[in-house]
Amino acid sequence: MGFIIEKRGNEEVLSALEGAFTTAGRRGRAFKLSKTAIALLRSLEKTLPGEYTVLFSIDAIEKIISDKAAVLEVTNEYLRDLAKKVGYRKYQKYFLPNYSIALHILRGLGLLEVFSKGDAKFIGLTKLGKVVKDHLESARLPYVKELSAMVLASLPFSTKMRVVYGLYYMYGPDYAGFYATLRDKLFARDPSTKLRYYDGVERLCLEILYEMVLTKAGGSEVYLSETYVLTKLLEGFLKLFSGDKSKMNELFRALNKYLRFPHHNRFPYESAAWEALVPGSYLDLDEALERYKLSSIRPLMERLHEEFASIEHQLRGLYGLPLSY
């Protein structure tokens, strides 16, 4: 449980990821990493069926791995072909590290899931990943808009990025704060509503907790975590809002209102755990997208609105805990 990355060879490119949403980031290492993530998403044709992931058991995993329509086995041939598409000249030195981090980004955004059996690895698109991929292929957006669409699509759903966003909004990159909040609230309920604070994302929260333990809450001199990768991506995304978290959160709240509020009875969540969602005014989605020059992703939001229940059902099956056995 938990995903750990060696600092050596990766810290510099992850630091560069903070500039991926700026003009300066459209070249160099951050650009190459982001381009790899987008190419990886577009290369996947196989989508995980929701019925296999409602209860995420070893039996379900075996069915997924054996279903050739659901997952792709990651082979050296596939990776070398992807490296050529992205334009890497040095496969071992540059492509493989960037591919590994790109995989963590896409998984953290809830766009794909990774499965292992022995030494073999398999990857498949989630339903969210399929919708985002289809949008990117049809819309032909500029590179920064593609990255923005991927991040924004992940935030209203039960993804690891959604959990990290809530923690980052409260603490910034203070991983000790991440750990303390999840340790205290993961299985707690709000006294007034009786809702669980992190309903439907318990396995993701356990991952983050374990990553904090393994890396000494970011204090390890040797290892980084998938949570760290997502935090760096958020710090880059924040630059679209001139570093102002309140502006970024305006957009998040508008997305949450448009996509998640209509389904609150079916997929309840406790907003008291999120300072990002405390009561207050909400912009309409169109107003928020226009204000932050992201109107080009409106068609994606409409498609996510249509598919919300199906997508959320699958993600909660992947990342939540059953109520009982």
- DSSP codes joined into one string, 136-170: HHHH---HHHHHHHHHHHHTTSSSHHHHHHHHHHH
Higher pLDDT, 23 or 55: 23
- The torsion angles phi and psi of 268, rounded to 5 degrees, stand at -70, 155
Q: Does residue 144 register a pLDDT over 90? A: no
Lookup result for tokens 């990776």:
79
pTM comes to 0.94
Residue-level pLDDT at 269: 66
Give the end-to-end CA distance of the chain in Å, rounded to a whole number: 22
* DSSP-assigned letter for residue 320: S
Q: What is the mean pLDDT of residues 119-148?
A: 92
Closest Cα partner for 108 from 240, 238, 225, 243?
A: 225
**Residue 272 pLDDT exceeds 60:** no
Confidence of residue 129 (pLDDT cuts 50, 70, 90): very high
∠ Cα 35 41 30 (to 5°)? 20
Calculate Rg over the CA atoms of the chain: 19
CA angle 18, 21, 27 (to 5 degrees): 85
Rounded mean pLDDT, 201-221: 94
pLDDT reading at 27 higher than 70: no
Question: What is the pLDDT of the chain when averaged over all its residues?
Answer: 88
What is the mean predicted confidence (pLDDT) over 295-324?
Answer: 91
pLDDT (0 to 100) of residue 26: 56
pLDDT in tens, 217-239: 999 999 999 999 999 999 999 99
**Token pair 């992190």 in the structure block, residue:** 198
pLDDT at 55: 52
Which amino acid, one-letter code, is at 176? A
